[in-house]
Amino acid sequence: MSNSFFQKDIVSVRDFDKQKFETVFQATDKIIGMNQNERREIVRGKTLGYLFFEPSTRTRLSFEAAMASIGGTSLGIADASSSSAKKGESLADTVKIMSLYSDVLVLRHQLDGSSRFAAEISEKPLINAGSGTEEHPTQAILDLYTIRKEKKKIDGLKVGIVGDLKYGRTVYSLLYALSNYNVDVKLISPPSLKIRADSTYEIRKKLQYTETSDLEENLDDLDVIYVTRIQKERFADIEEYVKVRGSYKIGPELVNKIKDDAIIMHPLPRLDEISPEIDSTKQAKYFKQAQYGKDTRAALLALILNENGI
């Protein structure tokens, strides 16, 4: 069977359908099942180049760990202030140079449209690791994989997405991804952080969702509770941030109201929206989610870099 991911860019989760997700999930399962020696032969001799113009801990380290786990190496820019961008070098030139040194590129940038632009310039396949407030496709892939692994299915579930739905790029990618499945979605946010109508036109065609600001009244029938932080860095007016900061907090009292087999997810980093007391509960899956992030990114890299897949 041909590998449709070979040498392809991963810019938007909108380019995925159910079958493409399933291809990545099966590749992830296969990698997890391999012994270490087998895994380290998958992309031996290949190099990942990363360009992070916005702060990142989990995503960058996850890609580096993923590449190392399948036998590759990584190099790149973890901090724009230490790169030639500080001297005024254009994104286009930086991407061109990095593509000379790498077999696959990973880009995070603060501007909307940056990954699409960079993919057109790069001579090597490029993965969007977050473009402005638009999308974060590999986060959506790992989110779906987490749901599939922990709930044994995606179709038929009730999913609640909580927090900053206006600026959270993980939210838009997750909604686009969920639109490939038969799910019931509740969007729970402060009124000022509701999902942007102009960004959900396409989603609305495929996915029905309801919006509310009341977290407690919607908790008891949810299978998946996906919590996001209020993103201070996205607010032009700090006073607006202060008004909504701490709007929702998942603590022991709320966890007692949710289903016994519900799962709590978070793309991380968290601030105070999930109490550390919840970490030891069986519903808390956000650290496992981060582990699955490494595994799904390893699978994606393997598919992009190997013509015959894994």
- Which residues contribute to the annotated binding site for L-aspartate? 87, 169, 229
Residues 227/219, Cβ–Cβ less than 8 Å: no
Alpha carbons within 13 angstroms on the beta-carbon side of residue 117 total: 15
Q: Is 58 designated active site?
A: yes
10 Å CB burial of residue 2 (0-12, 13-18, 19+) is exposed
Could you list the residues known to form a binding site, using ranges.
Answer: 58-59, 87, 108, 136, 139, 169, 229, 268-269
Find, among 183, 150, 161, 158, the residue nearest to 282 by Cα.
150
Q: Is 59 designated active site?
A: yes
Other Cβ atoms closer than 10 A to 202: 12
Other Cβ atoms closer than 10 A to 37: 8
Out of 136, 148, 285, 294, the active site residue is 136
Q: Name every residue whose Cβ is closer than 8 Å to that of residue 155 and which is 6 or more positions away in sequence.
A: 181, 182, 183
Out of 39, 108, 148, 149, the active site residue is 108
Residues 195/165, Cβ–Cβ less than 8 Å: yes
Out of 23, 28, 59, 200, the active site residue is 59
Out of 58, 151, 234, 245, the active site residue is 58
Could you list the residues known to form a binding site for carbamoyl phosphate, using ranges.
Answer: 58-59, 108, 136, 139, 268-269
Find, among 134, 199, 136, the residue nearest to 10 by Cα.
136
Q: Is 108 designated active site?
A: yes
Residues tagged active-site: 58-59, 87, 108, 136
